Amino acid sequence: MKKQLRLFFKLLKESVRDLLPIIIVISLFQLLILQQIPDNTVSVIIGLLIVLFGLAIFILGLEIGIFPLGEGLAHEFAKKGSVFWLLLFAFLIGFSTTVAEPALIAIADKAQVISNGKIDAFFLRLTVALSVGFAIALGVFRIILGHPIHWYIIIGYIIVVLITFFAPPEIVGIAYDSGGVTTSTVTVPLVTALGIGLASSIRGRNPVIDGFGLIAFASLTPMIFVQVYGILALGVEADISNIVPETSSELSTHEITYSEHKPNWLVEVILDLFAVVKDLFPILFVIFFFQYVVIRKPIPHFRLIALGFIYVIIGLYAFLVGLEMGLFPLGETMALQLTKTGNYFLIYLFGFLIGFSTTMAEPALIAVALKAKEVSKGKINDFLLRVFVAIGVAVGIALGCYRIVVGDSIHYYIIVGYIIVIIMTYFAPKYIIPIAYDSGGVTTSTVTVPLVAALGIGLATNIEGRNPLIDGFGLIAFASLFPMITVMGYGLLSEIFYKMKKGG
């Protein structure tokens, strides 16, 4: 128990570190630039504290429950050598972790509310989860075959661009965003370990070139699947004229999991906890099925694993409650305040600083950067890699805010961005390409996504002539795209400096 408490406080400290950059940037803007304090400050602070507690408990549960089981299964399958079971495991792990991803749950719920139910949150999550399952299986198959990753990615981007011209406009931003929210707290560590472990165990594979890239697949395929879902659910020429977006306050009231207007808050809490258990059930089913039916071994340290799952349930519930009390209202309030100033440069500056500061503190990025340094034997500098990723996210969010302000269609920006990525792929060093593709997926964390999403929706709600459903989504997509460009730029610069140093 003492060990768990020490781990909890360590995770709580890390959660504070993740949230601190956001608090610093917002506080500086509130006090020095806007010179006003929001009316809902107390509620936001309580919400942020609940987020910190929930995130720490959630990750503690992952550390002692889900991760050991998942990593153990991956190791067992590598020893077993069965391609069928490995691909099935990869698919189901991708599916089950995505269905329970907190950031995706938050975005799907927000999309359903803003569209007045025309976009169904459950089916949206199901579509994204299926796409990620397919992506992880395809990525594992690529590692087995030893194919270069960039051919898969380039073909995928071409499909994304082509299908965008047929998809209804209100699904495009959500589709692009869904690629960024699938790879964070739950998915990244399991998927990264699976890819590198598999590449390390197959003769002739390079962990740097072949091991990375699964996250990139998981970021790409949801853009395709969700747009197809939009075509099937809404039609090519969907009519959105009858959709009247709810105000920010209505959104918050609608989504907070408990409220003073509800007759019995205890019953509501129990029902919401049951909903969280239902969300996590696919992960439990996959792990237990493969553990007992395929591997045919008992679960080691069963009591500890069970306790881990209880922590995950409590942590996820607290996190979602905190989001609705803290981060979503915070992003919407800041958007309202910034648009009221009439100085759009402040909006772009705020987006840039939020993007840079949160990315530098992103735990998933730190983990991937350290892994990249380790497997590249120091050729990749972990700190510089994080700086270039952070610059990409900052530029992406600032440019995304500009797009909302001027009212441009998102797909033109994304198409140009993908063309740049494809061109740079041919010139960048081979070892940096999979890491660059993965960098786009690890930048959008469980903490960052709700704030950035709320900022975009808030801007689109408060700027005249903008529709939150069409214009409000997309900031996460920008934050996922531009790091690919900046990281490949880092690889090119590193090669140039290395040759100059060698020549000198």
Number of independent structural domains in the chain? 1
pTM of the model: 0.71
Residue type, 384: L
pLDDT of residue 238: 45
Among 52, 150, 89, residue whose Cα is nearest residue 446: 52
Domain that holds residue 391: 2-503
d(CA 275, CA 57): 18
Is the four-CA dihedral 462, 463, 468, 474 of positive or negative sign? Answer: negative
pLDDT of residue 487: 92
Measure Cα distances from 6 to 14, 48, 314 in Å.
12, 22, 18
Q: Using alpha carbons only, how large is the chain's radius of gyration in Å?
A: 22
Closest by CA to 73, choosing from 86, 91, 58, is 86
CB 84 within 8 A of CB 211: no
**Alpha carbons 222 and 385: distance in angstroms, whole number:** 26
The residue length of the chain stands at: 504
| Structure confidence by residue, pLDDT tens digits, 329-373 | 777 777 788 888 888 898 899 889 888 887 876 666 776 787 777
What pLDDT shows up at residue 208? 67
Rounded CA gap, 27 and 342, in Å?
A: 20
What confidence score (pLDDT) does residue 257 get? 39
Q: How far, in Å, CA of 198 to CA of 70, rounded?
A: 14
| Cα distance between residue 196 and residue 306, in whole Å | 27
pLDDT of residue 439: 79
| Amino acid type, 458 | G
pLDDT at 253: 33
pLDDT in the model for residue 187: 63
Q: Which residues of the chain have pLDDT under 70?
A: 38, 67, 70-71, 74-75, 78, 81, 183-190, 193, 208, 235-265, 279, 361-364, 367, 442-448, 503-504
Which residue has 């964390």 as its token pair? 445
Given a contact cutoff of 8 angstroms between Cβ atoms, the answer to whether 110 and 251 are in contact is yes
According to the model, what pLDDT value does residue 248 have?
Answer: 40
Give the residue among 218, 186, 252 at the shortest CA–CA distance from 445: 186
pLDDT at 367: 66
Query: Could you tell me if 120 and 233 are in contact, meaning their C-beta atoms sit under 8 angstroms apart?
Result: yes
Return d(Cα 315, Cα 143) in angstroms, integer. 34
Alpha-carbon distance 283 to 392, whole Å? 33
Q: Are the CB atoms for 25 and 350 separated by under 8 Å?
A: yes
